[in-house]
Amino acid sequence: MRKIYVLDTNVLIHDPESIFKFEDNHVVIPFVVITELDRLKRGHGEIAYSARHALKIIDQMRERGNLAEGISLDSGGTFCVECSASAAETTNDNRILYTAVTIHNRSGLRDSEDRSAACLFSWNAEADETPVILISKDTAVRIKAVALGLQAEDYTHDKTTIFQRYGHVLQGEDHTNGIHSTRYYKTGDDVYRLQGEVRQVKIKSGKSLEGIAPRNLEQECSIDALISPDIEVVVLTGNAGTGKTLFALAAGLHQTTKRSPLYEQVLVARPIIPMGKDLGYLPGSIQEKLQPWMQPIFDNLEVIMGTPKNIDKDGQSGRYPSFQYLIDTGIVQIEPLTYIRGRSLPKRYFIIDEAQNLRPLDVKTIITRCGEGTKIVFTGDLQQIDTPYLDSMSNGLSYLISRFINEENFCYLNLKSSVRSRLAEQGARLL
């Protein structure tokens, strides 16, 4: 039996092409969703881009037929815009719910004089009652829908749990783990880097970067992955204090400042929550606007570089922040993700911190900006999602792992031990 899926606005923002992801079922967009997309389409950033992309797709569907009566999809399903609404509902969420309830209440009809429901009539010849399911990434909307007697589901097309099976250092007989991406294997006192089916390289133990030495096996393997030129995409996950960002920055600086540098610049970016917020809402220059969001990066750079002394014009000893020195000399560039679309970034050591707060579409946008000779490192904690409508299984970092897990130029490591301090480790364990 085919189903009727009613899509919330946040589904189209998450994936503008979600209309085509429901196989041979019927997809309905409430009229108010078009209104919300129209409001969100203005400005910069990924949210505005997604809104414009979704509207463009719907407009292309309009050219193929009557949106009110339903348009056939290549998958065998049907798409329409449902115009039923209630003036009594004061919020857009409630208007979407009203539309879904209206469709549910008449989904058993084979014919009617109510022409506003025309797009449903051709669907109901196959059964007396077609299931109506509201698809929303908003937990509250799904709860309301169930309370109203509807079926409700999250958008699951890009959800994955594959990250739960990988990312650890292999030992014993499990030396392949069934994947082709780069992984690490420990036997006795030796640690090997494995790529593909047969490539095996013994790694040097005890290697430090810019004075930062590894404190456990996972960090030792992370250093090797971060400085290996043939590993072009690295993902480091783990709880706070495991050294993800610190080692990524140290590796970037090490390979950018040495005598024969592999990269021209260390490029660092973090999502500004909410993703797509225009930096113009904050006062000051771009660097001043980014300062609150980038302070964790600056803290890590201070640990790596220390704070060099300088003498001011009056002969007094002053302090020159190391992160500012690195920025002023062009060694490190802080980049707002809001404006990264359209850029090409060759020969960069590109670090995306807090990447668990990105959507799959955001990750695709970022990784397709990488030019020749660029290495990209994603760091994040998959259990600490701050972006609305994302969780550990639907965020861009999990999606990236699931899509790249069999690529030889990719490495995923999950760091488990906190090394920030004894107190931080105690807090993570007890609280």
Q: CA dist 14 to 46, 47, 155, 312, Å?
A: 10, 8, 9, 51
The predicted-structure confidence for 159-179, as pLDDT tens digits, reads as follows 999 999 999 999 876 666 789
Residues contacting 88, CB < 8 A, separation 6+: none
Q: What is the pTM of this model?
A: 0.85
What is d(CA 204, CA 225) in angstroms, rounded to the nearest whole number?
12
Phi, psi dihedrals of residue 200, rounded to the nearest 5°: -145, 125
Is the confidence at residue 124, as pLDDT, over 60?
Answer: no
Overall average pLDDT of the 130-154 stretch = 95
pLDDT band for 114, please (50, 70, 90 cuts). Answer: very low
The predicted-structure confidence for 51-106, as pLDDT tens digits, reads as follows 999 999 999 999 999 999 899 999 999 999 998 766 677 899 999 999 999 999 87
Say which residue, 330 or 110, is predicted with more confidence.
330
Could you check whether the bond before residue 274 is cis, i.e. omega within 30 degrees of 0? yes
**Which tokens is 28 given?**
């309905």
Give the CATH number of domain 162-430; options: 3.30.230.10, 2.60.120.380, 3.40.50.300, 3.20.20.70: 3.40.50.300
Say which residue, 86 or 299, is predicted with more confidence.
299
How do the domains of the chain map onto residue ranges? 4-153, 162-430
Which pLDDT score, from 0 to 100, does residue 307 have?
57
What's the mean per-residue pLDDT of the chain?
Answer: 85
Which pLDDT score, from 0 to 100, does residue 287 have?
65
Strand partners, 199: 195
The predicted-structure confidence for 377-421, as pLDDT tens digits, reads as follows 999 999 999 888 999 999 999 999 999 999 999 999 999 887 777
Overall average pLDDT of the 314-329 stretch = 70
Overall average pLDDT of the 270-277 stretch = 60
- Fold match between 4-153 and 162-430? yes
The predicted-structure confidence for 1-21, as pLDDT tens digits, reads as follows 889 999 999 999 999 999 999
Which residue reads 């669907």 in tokens? 123
CATH of span 4-153: 3.40.50.1010
